[in-house]
Structure 1
């Protein structure tokens, strides 16, 4: 009997893919991806047996009738497990995880019916014994590779990460070979080719040098920025690993970190640069800066359009549709700009769609912008992951921030070894030299008090803790007739926010009235400079970032450039924000004797130490970190449970597309063109998406104000706001009206 992996178009099966060919191709491609990670033999073996279950004669019915289901993911794992004994049993289990999970996702070791133990125990082999007997897998080379990927003090965590890397290599190889088969059938070869970082580095470094040379050292600030850049780039020759870059706002740390990454990659042969940012709202801005500076080769990727839904959009043969996910990002680009959520949730994920990129994270320079924003409840597993990536997968990680958190092992039990790895020249001296503003305490300030303060300030900003508060305060200020009033919030789509920020800059530059009411999105990487500002109580890290938007260029006297921190009576804030604000108040009280300088390195250090040390390891994610440490009688890894628990954002937010301009309309029209891949459409539409609560989008759809466009082709991927009157030019999307706008749209 002839066995096939994938169907084709011809009735005589002349264009169907033979199963041995697919297994050979996947093994080869997986080994190619794993070779730089030191896991080539393990990946080849995993790839060779990932679809071994397709030797089941019943699978032929799957290829003829897409509605038939046959488990073809268990047989290969069962074969490897049965052939292993003694110490090799652990090796076979490591390989079983990616084989079992290459469609459904990495399983837990025990528990649900989908767990490794239950699937292997329930397996009844339907494959001809002669086919199975002909297989002679050798686990010894894979064992040697895995031993080299673990350290004694963190054996379990390291082995779980090696399993994830194997999973990524095999999933990507499987998808690529499947994609190539169907692309040949359909005559449409997807454009997946990116130049390598090594090919681009000479030109990128020349561009970077030319750009930086254009900044004339005509001021003390520019001289200082040039000194910082030179010192940071000088650290590029240091051995790869973990680094800190502590530069106050205004010191040019974004470009300095990029300069380091380019030089470090050239010095040590790094394969790509990954720039991770806490907020989706800032990734588009950073990506634009890098594209303008470096040209092609920059990929912007975050969760504005869900990757897994993208995968269901391609209209292919039934069996191929299940696997072929053209739109999933594999991060093959030489420079990736992404969010912390996308980066870290992928590293702890179980789904193939999220894990496919992991092997391309290996060998990277990873810049963690605003590193202090890493969530406290997940801190310890996050730090373990960064440490393991550097120890075993040739990564270098730069913790880049104006307020260096207490991640060092000298400050935080189970922290990172960071002593001697600071890239900036004398951070404490930099803090003094780059001081541009003061933080003062304002006590309670309700909305009328804030409006009154803005009335007395032709150019000023107020930052609050929620979109709802920002909208209410803006409406109150507008009712009072304040001139030059501007609202900035994630209610607005990114392209709209960019236009608003450009208007703010122009007003500030010209001296025109500019009174901004915003959420915290402007605190990370948005280059604005106000004479004065007000910030609702939050963590000291947030307040320091907000202070960085006051007198950023040093135009006004420091004593007049104030950020007033206030409490907003009657405004409910998340428990984590309240805890951070309470800690800030305590630190302010302790430092009152020294003038209460909350921008001093000593105050910032105290705040971080209080936040981390006093929280205790259990509140820093110790339980989750320990969960990935196996008992080594078995590889007891709870991959699926970990993925469910490692969530940086608790509230489910979903995207909705706004008809922003002609470019947005053109991309929406293209939704009906089958030949255009979903990923291409998603990237084009990302600047026009707003993230809203899932329930709010459901209400918009139910009441006829939004719908999924071209569902026959795209499924439930692209939800578009059809009632554009809900989007306001000054305040963005008002989804709150959705619940009341059934038949009564006249209420608008």
Structure 2
């Protein structure tokens, strides 16, 4: 009998289970080959839908198609009501996880079986918080008659096509691969979490190969060989070199700062011939790291035959800026994919039917590209990167295999959330040692990730820029002035200081740690404006403003800072301006924070070396409460400690607060306070449970499981993969996204509240993304009590009333951290 895997909607053509399994096996082998796990991945693909070889599943799928044809929903079987993912996992486990088998055979069976039984949801725990094994319940312990009967039927059908000897020989090759992987783990002194990441890689291969094959059958699309982007990288490298040639001919080319940028860019080019590794690029702020890192990436991709270049950045605003800068140089937009929440289709769907079909196809391709990351240059966020490894479900992990054999550039790497540092380091070690990728950590403030407990394995001679301290001195365009007082300055005193500095410069940037402190200083200076004490334009920036609002303010600010405008300007902002905004002020005032934040703030001062030296002042604000901002508060204390060190010995750290030595000392102090927090503490599991441990040895749950079990379990893997996924959130967010009535957002909110035509909701929601502010729950409750929250679409979406959104401050509510 020919069992059915899929029935195509448009013509009811059947894809048999035999064909689907073999094609998914081929896809998995191709993806697994990239890191040397061809047979481990292939076996998962070969057996993943084994359970469709049953009469029960055939009846299920035929009923589903019949119900679809008639439109009778009552006849449609419940989706997933027939279990087809257990059989393949059972076959692998029961056949190869036998008493007396080698540990490598058992481990291979567990890895493959878990991927198979989980391919419609997420990976199962080997041992969970209840000290039970959800994995074993699926693959061996559940003896329900219907499941056993289906399993036996599926297995006997498979062995009608393939001999037991053929399967055993294939499995033996998978075991050889696993033994090789374990030897590498031991040789490199990696932790057991690496095994969990290898399972996730196999899972990624299976998910992508399965989804791709199913889509290709449905759309009658031929399987395509892996695209080679070598010619694109070659064209792009030549285009970039033409850009550098233009810069060398520009009127400002002879400026010392531009000569240094060219020199560092050349060092990136020369370094690119080195083998794959984990390297650092510590170009000083304003040193042109975007183009320099691209030069390294393109040259390295050509030299080492890498498949793609991936930029990982902390904020979506940086993606948009950097991606556009690179697009303008390469002029091949379709080869560059931005993957983040704010990307929307700018154009409306055409009215012409043929054009509209092409538009829909284009949108579909973009959505698919986001799921598969199949472009040669990808821009995405740190959140998306971490989600690919650790978040729940199958959509994120699907693209994990695309991170192998790649050049991955981490922009502003010091922005890794503290709680995720151990997980981040484990992911990078995996990508280098097993994924055969090259990883470049870009920042002026390298965070010493190689010196924490679960350390990053940096390559030998890892820094690209030679003589960093010398470069720092040549690049010096500002001096740091300590104006910290023990009590700190209130808004009135700080305004006095700002206006005093304005007697000597034309523009100042003030960066504060809390939104309320920013607001108080803004109001104080506006009062001085009215009394004619201040003659400057005053700008306000904070995350209480939606993205469209902030962009408009920044655009106006950048325009007013142009020398030909001769405007006097004061900008008061939260730290959102510290990264990704190419802007230069004559003076910067920074409220005491982490030394890395102070360095980023300093990067907005005299950015292009307009004059020899400008001043950056560190102050302490009495209007800030950092009780709820633990990382900022501890960072401020450790910066103060470095400052105190230098007061005792002015020659310490080379006498420079922003030197490499000072930054290393700062991170040493800072990380000492977060040693346990770096492993991702999960409060919902009792406070002391750490995600790193769940994915590593998981000893606490394992010991509890063995104490409870009457029989001796022969499980090799203990990791709580599913539990870890359920609790992972790269950036903890206790707030909720709320639409705000700013600019075009007012009209769009009204449209959303009206009668929507079918198919218009998705487009409208994408257009509304720049008009969203994330509001903390306690603030949201206050706004709701005031009558300033309007529920839309049956409460699924919330919108703010116009009276609660200020054209200056954004969300209008007094209070700390609001």
Tell me by how many angstroms 1:267 deviates.
Answer: 0.8
Tell me by how many angstroms 1:360 deviates.
Answer: 0.6
Alignment partner for residue 594 of structure 2, among 516, 539, 543?
Answer: 539
Is the 8 Å Cα contact of residues 667 and 681 (structure 1) preserved in structure 2?
no
Distance 1:578 1:231, change over 3 A: same
Match of 2:60 in 1: 61
Report whether the alignment pairs 1:608 with 2:667: yes
SS state at 1:34 partner: helix
In 1, distance between residues paired with 2:326 and 2:813? Answer: 33
Match of 1:331 in 2: 373
Distance 1:35 1:701, change over 3 A: farther
Report whether the alignment pairs 1:731 with 2:785: no
Task: Tell me the alpha carbon deviations over residues 564-587 of structure 1, each in whole angstroms, 9 at most, x when there is no partner.
Answer: 232334523412221111111111
SS state at 1:61 partner: helix
Match of 1:43 in 2: 41
Match of 1:465 in 2: 513
Which is further off, 142-151 or 629-638?
629-638
Match of 1:70 in 2: 82
In 1, distance between residues paired with 2:808 and 2:180? Answer: 57
Match of 2:393 in 1: 351
Is the 8 Å Cα contact of residues 589 and 618 (structure 2) preserved in structure 1?
yes
Task: Tell me the alpha carbon deviations over residues 256-283 of structure 1, each in whole angstroms, 9 at most, x when there is no partner.
Answer: 1111111111111111111111223322
Is the 8 Å Cα contact of residues 28 and 44 (structure 1) preserved in structure 2?
yes
Match of 1:744 in 2: none
Match of 2:246 in 1: 214
Tell me by how many angstroms 1:21 deviates.
Answer: 3.2
Which is further off, 469-478 or 581-590?
469-478
Which is further off, 451-460 or 288-297?
451-460
Distance 1:251 1:441, change over 3 A: same
Match of 1:448 in 2: 492
Tell me by how many angstroms 1:588 deviates.
Answer: 0.6
Distance 1:708 1:170, change over 3 A: farther
Match of 1:628 in 2: 695
Q: TM-score by structure 2 length? A: 0.78
SS state at 2:469 partner: helix
Tell me by how many angstroms 1:94 deviates.
Answer: 0.5
Report whether the alignment pairs 1:92 with 2:109: yes
In 2, distance between residues paired with 1:581 and 1:634? Answer: 45
Q: TM-score by structure 1 length? A: 0.84
Match of 1:526 in 2: 581
SS state at 1:154 partner: coil
Task: Tell me the alpha carbon deviations over residues 339-363 of structure 1, each in whole angstroms, 9 at most, x when there is no partner.
Answer: 1121123212342121111011111
Tell me by how many angstroms 1:691 deviates.
Answer: 3.7
In 2, distance between residues paired with 1:697 and 1:19? Answer: 52
Distance 1:257 1:156, change over 3 A: same
Gaps of 5+ in 2: 65-75, 345-366, 681-689, 700-713
Report whether the alignment pairs 1:377 with 2:396: no
Is the 8 Å Cα contact of residues 550 and 563 (structure 1) preserved in structure 2?
no
SS state at 2:190 partner: helix
In 1, distance between residues paired with 2:743 and 2:597? Answer: 33
Tell me by how many angstroms 1:241 deviates.
Answer: 0.7
Distance 1:494 1:170, change over 3 A: same
Is the 8 Å Cα contact of residues 438 and 599 (structure 1) preserved in structure 2?
no
Q: Which has the larger radius of gyration?
A: 2
Matches within 5 A, 1:389-408: 389-408=431-450
Distance 1:419 1:592, change over 3 A: farther
Match of 1:501 in 2: 554
Match of 2:722 in 1: 640
Matches within 5 A, 1:85-124: 85=98, 86-87=101-102, 88-111=105-128, 115-120=134-139, 121-124=141-144
In 2, distance between residues paired with 1:601 and 1:401? Answer: 11
Report whether the alignment pairs 1:21 with 2:99: no
Report whether the alignment pairs 1:224 with 2:264: no
Report whether the alignment pairs 1:129 with 2:152: yes
Tell me by how many angstroms 1:72 deviates.
Answer: 2.4
Is the 8 Å Cα contact of residues 350 and 639 (structure 1) preserved in structure 2?
no
Which is further off, 388-397 or 27-36?
27-36
Alignment RMSD:
3.7
Match of 1:431 in 2: 472
Matches within 5 A, 1:262-273: 262-273=298-309
In 1, distance between residues paired with 2:412 and 2:621? Answer: 24
Is the 8 Å Cα contact of residues 369 and 399 (structure 1) preserved in structure 2?
yes
Gaps of 5+ in 1: 307-324, 738-748
Which is further off, 422-431 or 483-492?
483-492
In 2, distance between residues paired with 1:698 and 1:71? Answer: 44
Match of 1:485 in 2: 538
Match of 1:172 in 2: 208
Alignment partner for residue 676 of structure 2, among 618, 625, 629?
Answer: 618
Task: Tell me the alpha carbon deviations over residues 693-724 of structure 1, each in whole angstroms, 9 at most, x when there is no partner.
Answer: 46777998996955666x9xxx96xx474755
Which is further off, 652-661 or 57-66?
652-661
Match of 1:315 in 2: none
Is the 8 Å Cα contact of residues 516 and 814 (structure 2) preserved in structure 1?
no
Distance 1:406 1:353, change over 3 A: same
Tell me by how many angstroms 1:390 deviates.
Answer: 0.4
SS state at 1:535 partner: strand
In 1, distance between residues paired with 2:679 and 2:737? Answer: 29
Tell me by how many angstroms 1:93 deviates.
Answer: 0.4
Match of 1:319 in 2: none
In 2, distance between residues paired with 1:231 and 1:732? Answer: 44
SS state at 1:353 partner: coil
SS state at 1:564 partner: strand
Alignment partner for residue 552 of structure 1, among 599, 604, 607?
Answer: 607
Tell me by how many angstroms 1:554 deviates.
Answer: 2.3
Tell me by how many angstroms 1:364 deviates.
Answer: 1.2
Match of 2:637 in 1: 582
Tell me by how many angstroms 1:222 deviates.
Answer: 0.9
Distance 1:705 1:627, change over 3 A: closer
Which is further off, 336-345 or 568-577?
568-577
Match of 2:359 in 1: none
Match of 2:408 in 1: 366
Tell me by how many angstroms 1:452 deviates.
Answer: 3.2
Distance 1:382 1:174, change over 3 A: same
Match of 1:312 in 2: none
Distance 1:705 1:40, change over 3 A: same
Tell me by how many angstroms 1:95 deviates.
Answer: 0.6
Tell me by how many angstroms 1:402 deviates.
Answer: 0.5
Is the 8 Å Cα contact of residues 626 and 633 (structure 2) preserved in structure 1?
no
Is the 8 Å Cα contact of residues 412 and 609 (structure 1) preserved in structure 2?
no
In 1, distance between residues paired with 2:668 and 2:388? Answer: 28
Match of 2:234 in 1: 202
Tell me by how many angstroms 1:130 deviates.
Answer: 4.5
Report whether the alignment pairs 1:571 with 2:625: yes
Is the 8 Å Cα contact of residues 31 and 41 (structure 1) preserved in structure 2?
yes
Tell me by how many angstroms 1:628 deviates.
Answer: 3.0
Is the 8 Å Cα contact of residues 390 and 728 (structure 2) preserved in structure 1?
yes
Is the 8 Å Cα contact of residues 26 and 47 (structure 1) preserved in structure 2?
yes
Distance 1:174 1:305, change over 3 A: farther
Is the 8 Å Cα contact of residues 107 and 350 (structure 1) preserved in structure 2?
no
